[in-house]
């Protein structure tokens, strides 16, 4: 593949953007080499500035459930742009999207839109503390809830990818009330509550972890968290920024039958535009200003372009058979990964939940953050570059989940499956 133009643009970017990027994982630091520079997206494909075409299994890190530049979403954006791109005032589209979200997530008795998952994470923590009048928060190793100071203890995503145990610039006081437990280990949670249960405002987690690879909850783990928090008067917060509408149309809470007190959402509800949301029990959400004493605000919250993109995306996504078709594509990919690895004698574990998938180069299942560090990252690096050379783009990190869209059926998945032998042949080399 030709990459001359991408290299030229990236060199210019490094002179004006830190590391040449606006988000760390894009820099390819954990896999080596340089990132390609995207020119456009079409359905399941990305096309770079050199004209190379890639099957995209990142989908802008989750929101593009319909694929790139879906005609209905583009048309809705065009119509709204002619009416105005930002109001900083109430408008009807934000109400319509809120109703659409609530239809699929009934636990959100009230909700509020923000501009990112990070904003949603900041807000739910402040709200939980304001409602319970407690300060301590329990999070889990490898779960990433945005880059707010209080939530960067043992975070996943780019923090793990770059090998940073925590984050420079975060005062110790900012994380002093953040307690860290082990995902899928209910005993680790019990120990914290036994020590200081009456000080814990909330437990926050990704119910299916997507930020240190894909980690699936063990049977009864989420239900046990629900019981513990109720017993101690703490809130249970599900970060469904990734899992919302992807592992199930009603999120992980519908898939596993566990109703949290508060929920974070994002990605899909923006249809590819920046957006986030949080919501939950009415009595908790009524603590927010202007109804209550917990302040949260945002000039661009409920941006009309993001609202119409999200509304159109959800309406298309929940049409009969669309979600199920995409789940089938994810299952086909996982089966292809398993069989391809077996043909080449490469230890691999792969799984999918709904339209999310993940794989680790490991001979044994990976169920927690601590186990991810034992996986073969060099094999992943070889696999990643071989697949990229074949025109298949997985996340440039061994610690990120992948995503399929409704557009991946047909040509895209067939191309990816045909390329896997080249990827695993490279992974098998020493």
Provide the annotated active-site residues: 144, 239, 267
The string of DSSP letters for 84-108 reads: -S--SS--HHHHHHHHHHHHH-TT-
Inter-residue contact 359 to 215 (CB < 8 Å) = no
Helix, strand, coil percent content, the chain, rounded in steps of 5: 45, 15, 40
Q: Which has the closest alpha carbon to 235: 160, 294, 165, 298?
A: 294
Burial annotation 227-250 (CB, 10 A radius, 16+ → b, else e): ebbeebebbbbbbbbbbbbbbbbb
What is the rounded distance in angstroms from the CA atom of residue 136 to the CA atom of residue 197?
Answer: 9
Per DSSP, the three-state class of 39 is strand
Residue with tokens 């791109």: 85
What is the rounded distance in angstroms from the CA atom of residue 113 to the CA atom of residue 300?
Answer: 9
Report phi then psi at 369, rounded to 5.
-55, -45
What is the rounded distance in angstroms from the CA atom of residue 112 to the CA atom of residue 290?
Answer: 12
What is the rounded distance in angstroms from the CA atom of residue 146 to the CA atom of residue 157?
Answer: 9
* 125 contact partners, CB below 8 Å, separation of at least 6: 137, 148, 150, 151, 201, 202, 204
Per DSSP, the three-state class of 357 is strand
Q: How many CB atoms lie within 10 A of CB 81?
A: 12
Length of the chain: 430
Residue with tokens 């299952």: 331
What is the rounded distance in angstroms from the CA atom of residue 419 to the CA atom of residue 426?
Answer: 11
What is the rounded distance in angstroms from the CA atom of residue 84 to the CA atom of residue 79?
Answer: 9
Burial annotation 307-317 (CB, 10 A radius, 16+ → b, else e): bbbbbbbbebb
What is the rounded distance in angstroms from the CA atom of residue 397 to the CA atom of residue 30?
Answer: 6
């Amino acid at each position: 593949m030709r990459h001359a133009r991408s290299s030229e643009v990236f060199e210019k970017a490094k002179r004006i953007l830190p590391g040449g990027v606006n988000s760390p994982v894009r820099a390819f630091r954990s896999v080596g080499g340089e990132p390609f520079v995207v020119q456009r997206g079409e359905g399941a494909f990305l096309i770079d500035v050199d004209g190379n075409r890639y099957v995209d299994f990142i989908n802008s890190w989750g929101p593009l459930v319909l694929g790139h530049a879906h005609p209905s979403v583009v048309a809705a954006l065009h119509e709204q742009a002619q009416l105005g791109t930002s109001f900083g005032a109430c408008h009807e589209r934000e109400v319509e999207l809120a109703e659409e979200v609530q239809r699929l997530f009934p636990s959100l008795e009230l909700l509020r839109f923000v501009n990112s998952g990070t904003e949603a994470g900041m807000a739910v923590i402040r709200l939980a503390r304001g409602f319970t009048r407690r300060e301590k928060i329990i999070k889990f190793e490898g779960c990433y809830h945005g880059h707010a100071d209080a939530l960067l203890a043992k975070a996943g995503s780019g923090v793990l990818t770059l090998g940073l145990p925590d984050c420079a610039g975060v005062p110790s006081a900012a994380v002093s009330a953040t307690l860290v437990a082990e995902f899928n280990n209910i005993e680790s949670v019990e120990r914290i509550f036994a020590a200081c249960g009456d000080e814990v405002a909330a437990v926050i987690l990704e119910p299916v972890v997507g930020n240190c690879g894909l980690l699936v909850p063990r049977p009864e783990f989420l239900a046990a968290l629900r019981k513990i928090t109720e017993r101690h008067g703490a809130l249970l917060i599900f970060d469904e920024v990734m899992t919302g509408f992807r592992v199930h149309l009603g999120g992980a809470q519908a898939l596993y039958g566990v109703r949290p007190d508060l929920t974070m959402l994002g990605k899909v509800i923006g249809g590819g535009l920046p957006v986030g949301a949080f919501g939950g029990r009415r009595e908790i959400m009524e603590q927010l200003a202007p109804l209550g004493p917990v302040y949260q605000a945002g000039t661009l919250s409920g941006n009309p372009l993001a609202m119409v993109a999200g509304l159109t995306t959800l309406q298309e996504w929940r049409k009969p058979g669309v979600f199920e078709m995409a789940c089938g594509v994810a299952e086909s990919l996982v089966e292809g990964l398993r069989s391809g690895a077996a043909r080449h004698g490469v230890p691999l574990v792969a799984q999918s939940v709904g339209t999310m998938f993940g794989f680790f180069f490991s001979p044994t299942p990976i169920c927690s953050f601590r186990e991810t560090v034992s996986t073969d990252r060099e094999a992943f690096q070889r696999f990643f570059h071989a697949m990229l050379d074949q025109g298949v783009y997985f996340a440039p990190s061994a610690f990120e989940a992948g995503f399929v869209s409704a557009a991946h059926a047909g040509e895209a998945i067939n191309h990816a499956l045909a390329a896997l032998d080249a990827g695993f042949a490279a992974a098998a080399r020493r």
